[in-house]
Structure 1
Amino acid sequence: MPDISNAALTVLTTAEPYAKVRAARAAARDWRLGRLAHAFSAAMPDRPARPAAPELLPPNRMPKRGRAGSDASRIAMIHALAHIEFVAIDLAFDMAGRFGARFPRGFADDWMRVGADEAMHFALLDRRLRALGSHYGALPAHDGLWQAAEETAQDPLARLAVVPMVLEARGLDITPATIARFEGAGDLATARILGRILTDEERHVRAGTRWFRHGCESAGLDPIPTWQSLVARHFRGSLKPPFNDSARERAGLTRAFYMVGCH
């Protein structure tokens, strides 16, 4: 029987976007149906496979999105969000395959489900781009998200601290305003997609926070100062308001974590 790491590796080494989506869905389904062993024989790659497009640029070389509310600006925003979801597929399966052996089986349950969610989010956003006359890969994108994975590749607590509890939590903060922007432009179809993503993101942050606490408690560490120390060491940025305190609270990420300077 193949194991969970083999399935995760297949996702990570698949470059073409819709082949990656299919691999993600198949891996999550096979895990759910008991077709994968809870074993970890395969090592995860340093970097996942990537398609020829989009061109990946440093964040400071990304082109401006243009006039707010214009069709071009909306397409650029949706494309940027689609890229985030595309990379998030790999982040979820890398989490399961790289670190799953160090946690109870429920850890794999959560991150395989997250990976399937991210694949669905990407497919919804790319479908929306195509309805607007564009597609994923038509514009450049930045590679900052995977840098966070590289920075935390040896430490599951650092990965949990930075990816779900900083990067995905930031989605809880900014997505409501993004939804309002699309609603204001009359783009209710995109707003509905983002509403679905926001609901799922809260669950993803909750999973990250729960397993971070579990890992800290297993190691005899205090979760809050440990999180602050790991973020200061591994996150290339600063934690800036506004914060969606209510959504973060529902996800278990209380103000005690992030309302202290973690720069």
Structure 2
Amino acid sequence: MTLAEGTGVADAARAVLDAADPAAKVKAARAAARALRAGRLAARFDTPMPDRPARPDSPELLPPGRMPKRGRGGSLRGRIALLHAIAHIEWVAIDLAFDMAGRFGGRFPPAFAADWFRVGAEEAMHFALLQRRLRAFGSHYGALPAHDGLWEAAAATTGDPVARLAVVPMVLEARGLDVTPTMIAQCEAAGDSATARVLTRILNDEIGHVGIGTAWFQYACESSGLDPVDQWKKQVERHVPGAVKPPFNDSARGAAGLTRDYYAAIAMPGGARHTVNTECGGLDPHSLE
């Protein structure tokens, strides 16, 4: 896919959001990021983003309470379900990154859109890697139901970039920093080094994504004379109350600039929802959502 010279940044972002087919969305994300890096996109943000991105016929999207239980122990079904759940998270993350750039890019310096286009292309790469692992197990994305918790959590922040930055990278994506190391360790213990390598790559990239979100959140707050820590707490309590739960991967969060000053004071006791239900995943990846 090649974008014409002079295509607007928001037009390129909208093309990603409008792609329903998984392969087409991955190609659109990569093409948009390449075009922006090459200087072929105009700094225009006059194209509106959709209320909801295009979605394929599958997976079926269910309310969280209706999601089926995943298999336990050494079952192939459990491993496929784990990978499918993470693939769905990465699929939605593609749209969230390009929506961030297309919806809010005109309010920030050009580096803002460039950062989120890069994040979106990396999320597309993560999805492709997970799709490859699913196919190695005889499955594919869309074979199982999923739910739309990530997008729904972001929908209430469509008019406020400070709120969106607080919620998506600094809460929802930061959760991945907490739960992924346990999944990696259990994959390695199960002898699934290929999946462990994919998850390690995703974890390392997600530290950067949370870091980008945190840096732009701090920029937005400081540009408006707001205290970033106080403002983050207010946004989280308003939009996703109860979503910040221990245990935390303080090292990874700290590497992303998300220090305990932000989350310790509002962390809910009791820990994240843990479900030991797959061969190589001890933490339920839906706790990211």
Q: Please state which band the TM-score falls in when normalised by the shorter chain.
A: over 0.9
Distance in 2 separating the partners of 1:178 and 1:236: 26
Deviation, 1:236, is 5.2
1:192 to 182, 188, 197: 197
Residue identity opposite 1:14 in structure 2? A
* Aligned length in residues: 263
Instruction: Indicate if the aligned counterparts of 1:82 and 1:122 stay in contact, CA closer than 8 A.
Output: yes
Residue identity opposite 2:37 in structure 1? R
Provide the secondary structure at the position in 2 that maps to 1:68: coil
Deviation, 1:207, is 0.2
Determine the structure 2 residue equivalent to 1:149: 154
* TM-score (norm. length: structure 1): 0.98
Distance in 2 separating the partners of 1:262 and 1:237: 8
Instruction: Indicate if the aligned counterparts of 1:228 and 1:262 stay in contact, CA closer than 8 A.
Output: no
Distance in 2 separating the partners of 1:15 and 1:215: 32
Deviation, 1:69, is 3.1
Is 1:127 paired with 2:135? no
Is 1:66 paired with 2:71? yes
Deviation, 1:182, is 1.1
Instruction: Indicate if the aligned counterparts of 2:171 and 2:243 stay in contact, CA closer than 8 A.
Output: no
Distance in 2 separating the partners of 1:140 and 1:184: 27
Distance in 2 separating the partners of 1:149 and 1:27: 22
Determine the structure 2 residue equivalent to 1:89: 94
Q: Which runs of 5+ in 1 are unaligned?
A: none
Residue identity opposite 1:135 in structure 2? H
Residue identity opposite 2:102 in structure 1? G
Provide the secondary structure at the position in 2 that maps to 1:56: coil
Is 1:240 paired with 2:240? no
Determine the structure 2 residue equivalent to 1:41: 46
Deviation per CA, 1:102-124: give whole Å up to 9, x if none.
11111111100000000000000
Instruction: Indicate if the aligned counterparts of 2:246 and 2:267 stay in contact, CA closer than 8 A.
Output: no
Deviation per CA, 1:51-71: give whole Å up to 9, x if none.
000000111111111113321
Determine the structure 1 residue equivalent to 2:223: 218
Determine the structure 2 residue equivalent to 1:168: 173
Distance in 2 separating the partners of 1:192 and 1:56: 28
Distance in 2 separating the partners of 1:236 and 1:65: 27
Distance in 2 separating the partners of 1:17 and 1:144: 19
2:23 to 18, 22, 25: 18
Residue identity opposite 1:181 in structure 2? Q
Residue identity opposite 2:186 in structure 1? R
Provide the secondary structure at the position in 2 that maps to 1:15: coil
Distance in 2 separating the partners of 1:155 and 1:79: 31
Provide the secondary structure at the position in 2 that maps to 1:46: coil
Instruction: Indicate if the aligned counterparts of 2:214 and 2:257 stay in contact, CA closer than 8 A.
Output: yes
Distance in 2 separating the partners of 1:237 and 1:72: 31
Residue identity opposite 1:153 in structure 2? T
Residue identity opposite 1:27 in structure 2? A
Deviation, 1:238, is 2.5
Distance in 1 separating the partners of 2:8 and 2:256: 30
Distance in 2 separating the partners of 1:28 and 1:152: 24
Deviation, 1:262, is 5.6
Distance in 2 separating the partners of 1:7 and 1:238: 32
Q: Which runs of 5+ in 2 are unaligned?
A: 1-5, 269-289
Deviation per CA, 1:164-205: give whole Å up to 9, x if none.
000110000000001111112111100000000000000000
